[in-house]
Amino acid sequence: MKIIYNTTAKFLILLTMLFYVGCTLTPRGVFYKDFDPRRISVISVGQFTTSSGNAISDYVKNLMIQNLLARNFTVKEVNSEDVDYVLLGSVTKFLPEKKFLVYTGTNKQQVMLGGPLTEISGSNVYNIGTAFGVSDGEIVVTNATVGVSARLVEKRTGNVVWSSSFSYEALTADTAAEIVANYLITSLTGLRR
């Protein structure tokens, strides 16, 4: 029997392979000597700085809080008296996905609508097909990339007791940010539920 692979089948095979590779990633971080993350009972999530604006900073901070709450941590505001540790960090990269309409013209001369098409370094670019209702029009999309660097500070002493960073590329910025937040909190806490 002859098997014919089409583009969709190849994409599904690639997606399945990436899923299994992604699931086998072991989150890593660096801990201060003799620090045991199981000692964490009350934690606060401080500011996640970014050059892109407060909305992205707050978004990443909220994703970190959601991941901590999902693992049954008590999360409080930074100024609460019983906070032992504060999670801080920075958004090192936030490149949302982009879509471009490309008009190929009658002689297949490439003419751009809305500006030049520039590949974002480190992101994949895909042609997802023809534009509905536009003859000789193609839709091109780029992946989103999100990177975050984080550290856990012991509030009483000011010692940094854990640090890690992670960057991920996905079809949407939301997906990439959620995976990065989950990776970092898993790196800090293990799979505690």
> Count of alpha carbons within 13 Å of 152, Cβ hemisphere only?
25
Q: What is the overall mean pLDDT for the chain?
A: 77
Structure tokens at 148: 């975050």
pLDDT one-digit tens code per residue, 45-80: 999 988 877 889 999 999 999 999 999 999 999 888
Span 124-145, mean pLDDT? 66
Q: 21 φ, ψ to 5°?
A: -65, -45
**Rounded to an integer, what distance in angstroms lies between the CA atom of residue 189 and that of residue 9?**
37
More confident residue, 83 or 133: 83
Span 101-118, mean pLDDT? 56
Question: What pTM value is reported for the model?
Answer: 0.70
